[in-house]
Amino acid sequence: MIRLCAPRDLSEGQSRGFQLEGLRLLAVRRDGQVFAYRNNCPHRDLPLEWRPDDFLDASGSMIQCAHHGALFLIESGECVTGPCAGDTLQAIRCHEDADGIWISP
């Protein structure tokens, strides 16, 4: 298991990017649960954000690819609109405890 960050470092409705062991990752907290994905759009294998830690659309309800405008469900990573509709982000297993947010890449 690899520790991404302390639980307090990912607030409700917030997204963050991470670079670990050569992997680009992103994490989002929604409804108290943390979701983690590889940080690459399935359409062109580009990072999703334009600015650090900025992965969500204006409403904060979906992950958005800054390059193509594709929108992904936070809970499943499924693309619901855009050039990669029907594809999904690659999920990373994660869990949270009092000491941190942990992933199994």
3 sits in the region (left: phi over 0; alpha: psi -120 to 50; else beta) called beta
Tell me the one-letter amino acid at 22: G
- Per-residue burial over 88-105, b if 16 or more Cβ lie within 10 Å, else e, is ebeebebebeeebbbbee
Residue 104 pLDDT class (50, 70, 90 cuts): confident
Let me know the angle formed at the C-alpha of 95 by 18 and 68, rounded to the nearest 5 degrees. 45
Domain ranges of the chain: 2-104
Q: What is the third-level CATH fold of 2-104?
A: Rieske Iron-sulfur Protein (2.102.10)
pLDDT tens digits, 14-66: 999 999 888 899 999 999 999 999 999 998 889 999 899 999 999 999 999 99
Q: 60: which 2 tokens?
A: 């904060």
Instruction: Enter the pTM of the model.
Output: 0.94
